[in-house]
Amino acid sequence: MGLKDEKLVIAGREFSSRLIVGTGKYKDYAENAAAAEAAGAEIVTVAVRRVNLTDKDEPMLVDYIDPKKFTYLPNTAGCFTGEDAVRTLRLAREAGDWTLVKLEVLGDEKTLYPNMPETLRAAELLIKEGFEVMVYCSDDPILAKQLEDIGCCAIMPLAAPIGSGLGIQNPVNIRLIIEQANVPVLVDAGVGTASDAAIAMELGCDGVLMNTAIAEAKNPILMAEAMKNAVIAGRQAYLAGRMQKRLYADPSSPIGGLI
Amino acid sequence: MNDKPADTIEIIVNGEAQLFEASLSVAALLAKLGLPAKKIAVEHNLEIVPKSAYGAHMVDAGDRIEIVHFIGGG
């Protein structure tokens, strides 16, 4: 990058990549690993689920995406209560021996919109237990501030519903959340294509988290690379500072010396 | 699974009843299930069992065990 960028710092850990990718919905773990590589991601989200007792030869994520190379970010996807989320992350901490986690407490099956009162309660419990909580949340600036005040290490408002690919629906709120935050803000969920990721970064987001936009692309590896470039381009544009918009034209060639 | 032999005990592992000869340690349970102790986490009656306690922590009849690991997710 022409201008030397700062690293993304989350809970004291430094990352060069500002793109976090999920590991769900891929054809197989091999494609998943190739996409994470192409995205240049350093953090991948993972789910905690029961071990399959009947098919022990089932492929394992850790054999494809090396937890020593990628930071595993355990999530609480599928949890609808604070208790479920806390229980899941306690297990994740025991399985992986790390404390950086992604909290999401869902409130509705159809929209997968976060249940914010439960999210706040679970975040408090987790932080008391020593977890470093990156939190999936609604795009309400007041709630985002409350999450930061209780000690969340990253605020992750949705761009649009999980898996919808609709892009940033409320750029005004995302910008307000960024403006007030003293911890990283990452858009999490709802990104559909590269321009959505670039818009998030141009708004001043510190990073973007996505899964479906890459996994459900016709060519996930190529889309992963596109997302990597979009996040870098958006970040550069944000740092460069865009021109002012004008209502009318302003010639690019000088008027003087016209024949 | 209802007519269990008199000399066996039933433990609920990941929601399914399984028969064992006698109460056993978590380490022995994992060995019987053929699961590596690395890369997983074990919950016994809703309490986490630390990896360091697998050898000494005993599981008895009627206990509920959850064994989890990381899988792909968004």
Encode pLDDT of B48-64 as tens digits.
Answer: 999 999 999 999 999 99
Q: Is B41's Cβ below 8 Å from some Cβ in A?
A: yes
Q: Is B5's Cβ below 8 Å from some Cβ in A?
A: no
Residues from chain B contacting residue A32 (CB–CB below 8 Å): 72
CA distance A234 to A224: 15
pLDDT in tens, chain A (259 residues): 555 788 999 999 999 999 999 999 999 999 999 999 999 999 999 999 999 888 877 888 888 999 999 999 999 999 999 999 999 999 999 998 889 999 999 999 999 999 999 999 999 999 999 999 999 999 999 999 999 999 999 999 999 999 999 999 999 999 999 999 999 999 999 999 999 999 999 999 999 999 999 999 999 999 999 999 999 999 999 999 999 999 999 989 988 888 8
Q: What is the pLDDT of residue B7?
A: 80
The answer to whether A71 touches A17, Cβ cutoff 8 Å, is no
Q: Is A212's Cβ below 8 Å from some Cβ in B?
A: yes
Residues from chain A contacting residue B68 (CB–CB below 8 Å): 48-51, 91, 95
Cross-strand bridge partners of residue B18? B11
Positions of A marked catalytic: 102
Q: Which residues contact B30 (CB under 8 A, 6 or more apart)?
A: B36, B37, B40, B42, B54, B67
* Count of A-B CB contacts under 8 Å: 97
The answer to whether A45 touches A70, Cβ cutoff 8 Å, is no
Q: Do A51 and B67 touch (CB under 8 A)?
A: yes
Q: Do B51 and A47 touch (CB under 8 A)?
A: no
Q: Is B8's Cβ below 8 Å from some Cβ in A?
A: no
Q: Do B51 and A94 touch (CB under 8 A)?
A: yes
Residues from chain A contacting residue B33 (CB–CB below 8 Å): 53
DSSP state for residue A122 in the 8-state scheme:
H
Q: Do A51 and B51 touch (CB under 8 A)?
A: no
Annotated binding site of A for 1-deoxy-D-xylulose 5-phosphate: 163, 189-190, 211-212
At B3, the pLDDT band (50, 70, 90 cuts) reads: low
Strand segments (E) across A118-199:
132-137, 154-157, 186-188
Entry pTM: 0.91
- Burial, A55: exposed, middle or buried (Cβ in 10 Å; 0-12, 13-18, 19+)? exposed
Q: What is the pLDDT of residue A56?
A: 75
- Burial, B6: exposed, middle or buried (Cβ in 10 Å; 0-12, 13-18, 19+)? exposed
Q: Which residues contact A61 (CB under 8 A, 6 or more apart)?
A: A23, A29, A32, A46, B70, B71, B72
Give A24 to chain B, closest Cα distance, Å: 4
Q: Is A13's Cβ below 8 Å from some Cβ in B?
A: no
CA distance B64 to B46: 8
Our CA dihedral for A156, A162, A167, A169, rounded to 10 degrees, sits at -70
Interface of A with B in 121-180 (CB under 8 A): 162-163
Q: Do B72 and A26 touch (CB under 8 A)?
A: yes
The class that CATH gives domain B9-69 is: alpha beta
Q: Is B17's Cβ below 8 Å from some Cβ in A?
A: no
Enumerate the domain spans of chain B.
9-69
Q: Do B71 and A77 touch (CB under 8 A)?
A: no
The answer to whether A80 touches A105, Cβ cutoff 8 Å, is yes
